[in-house]
């Protein structure tokens, strides 16, 4: 039987200098996003609004408070095993966001976090998760045409 569809929520977060926040999960966490830079986020929980979930996930992962600026176009990812079975189906719902408070401090499941300028993004393009690349294109943060 296929895995249930996951609603992934997150944010492309800019600071006052216009830098974008990227995070990387701890190696022992494993999973689909392992080893690549991603934007902060997680799962929508029952009873939460999308906006509440994004703010909660960002706070849990980074200890930052954010304001949501604008929704981004949703997209999905379907991952299949070699025999064609669906192992992951995630629908991403993300917002552009700005930092409003808190102090950046990666939480227990986040191993690293870094602020990058738009100009630095092409230089780390291959280190970004492919879904993050798509998200940054949707957000008009990156226009790298490799791939």
Write the pLDDT tens digit of every residue in 21-60: 999 877 665 566 677 899 999 999 999 999 999 999 999 9
Report all structural domains of the chain as residue ranges with CATH numbers, in order of start: 6-77+84-116 (3.90.79.10)
Q: What pLDDT shows up at residue 106?
A: 84
Q: What pLDDT shows up at residue 45?
A: 94
Q: What pLDDT shows up at residue 147?
A: 44
Q: What pLDDT shows up at residue 32?
A: 66
> How is residue 75 annotated by DSSP?
E
Cα R_g (the chain), whole angstroms: 15
Q: What angle do CA 62, 22, 30 make, to 5 degrees?
A: 80
Distance between CA atoms of 118 and 35, rounded to whole angstroms?
A: 21
Across 26-72, where does the E strand assignment appear?
41-43, 64-71
Q: Flag whether the pTM goes above 0.85.
A: yes
> Which residues in the chain show pLDDT less than 70?
1-3, 27-33, 143-147
């Amino acid at each position: 039987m296929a895995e249930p569809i996951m609603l992934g929520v997150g944010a492309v977060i800019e600071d006052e200098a216009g830098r974008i926040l990227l995070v990387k999960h701890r190696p022992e966490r494993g999973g689909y996003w392992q080893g690549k830079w991603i934007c902060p986020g997680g799962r929508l929980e029952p009873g939460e609004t999308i906006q509440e979930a994004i703010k909660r996930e960002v706070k849990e992962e980074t200890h930052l408070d954010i304001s949501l600026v604008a929704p981004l176009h949703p997209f999905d990812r379907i991952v299949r095993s070699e025999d064609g079975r669906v192992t992951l189906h995630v629908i991403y719902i993300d917002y552009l966001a700005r930092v409003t408070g808190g102090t950046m401090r990666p939480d227990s499941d986040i191993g690293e976090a870094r602020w990058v300028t738009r100009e630095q993004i092409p230089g780390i393009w291959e280190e970004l998760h492919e879904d993050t690349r798509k998200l940054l294109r949707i957000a008009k943060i990156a226009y790298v045409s490799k791939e």
